[in-house]
Chains A and B, each alone.
Chain A
Amino acid sequence: AAGVIQSPRHLIKEKRETATLKCYPIPRHDTVYWYQQGPGQDPQFLISFYEKMQSDKGSIPDRFSAQQFSDYHSELNMSSLELGDSALYFCASSRPTGPSGTYEQYFGPGTRLTVT
């Protein structure tokens, strides 16, 4: 079965540079979520999109922005990178399934961002 695709898998940037992370959801999934996982920490929600509109926002710095495109893929843009931005960035996708309309979130393999 098709899974969530993220690119690049690894990214090394210097402080103050910019980075763009891409996410391609599972086909027919209409909702995309971004999470940040620091070393030894649990994933923290950043932002989500439903049908190309922002649906929720978490602890996402103002230096970060994201959008979902017409083909449902999403991009997370990160500017003025700081050392503390080094983390695993996960994208998850979902769509309603079952009689109760549950949204099971399926995660991609992640992008490991290292800021030096």
Chain B
Amino acid sequence: QKEVEQDPGPLSVPEGAIVSLNCTYSNSAFQYFMWYRQYSRKGPELLMYTYSSGNKEDGRFTAQVDKSSKYISLFIRDSQPSDSATYLCAMTSDSWGKLQFGAGTQVVVTP
């Protein structure tokens, strides 16, 4: 079983809807949580970086971490067709450490 579980999708939503993504993990040592966006054949782009539990908001993006449940979420408000991409969660136990990625969720926002 993988340390980080993420539904690969695809997740299809109409333009303007809220996209809800999540990951679960098994390693309680993870303290730093990230969300990356990856377009096809491109490098992952860092969207959100969160330390420990709590919420963080940046524009249309909100990241939530619940360490007690080992569950993290990313919400994208007012979704646009340009948000269509694969979203990867990643986490690490040390801030400088190697990232453990989820499988990535493919999101399709239809006009």
| Nearest residue, chain B, Cβ from A3 | B43
| B contact residues, range | 20 to 34
Complex CA distance for A93 and B102, rounded to whole angstroms: 20
| Nearest residue, chain B, Cβ from A109 | B43
| Nearest residue, chain A, Cβ from B44 | A107
A115 to B: closest C-beta gap in Å: 17
| A contact residues, range | 20 to 34
Q: Mark A90-114, 1 if CB is under 8 A from B, else 0.
A: 1000101000111111111110100
Query: Contact at A102–B51, with CB atoms within 8 Å?
Result: yes
**Residue in B43, B45, B102 whose Cβ sees the most chain A Cβ within 10 Å:** B43
Query: Is A72 close to B, CB under 8 A?
Result: no
Query: Contact at B96–A96, with CB atoms within 8 Å?
Result: yes
Chain A residues with CB under 8 Å of B41's CB are: 88, 110, 112
| Nearest residue, chain A, Cβ from B100 | A45
Query: Contact at A42–B102, with CB atoms within 8 Å?
Result: yes
| CB-CB contacts below 8 Å: B67-111 with A | 88, 95-104
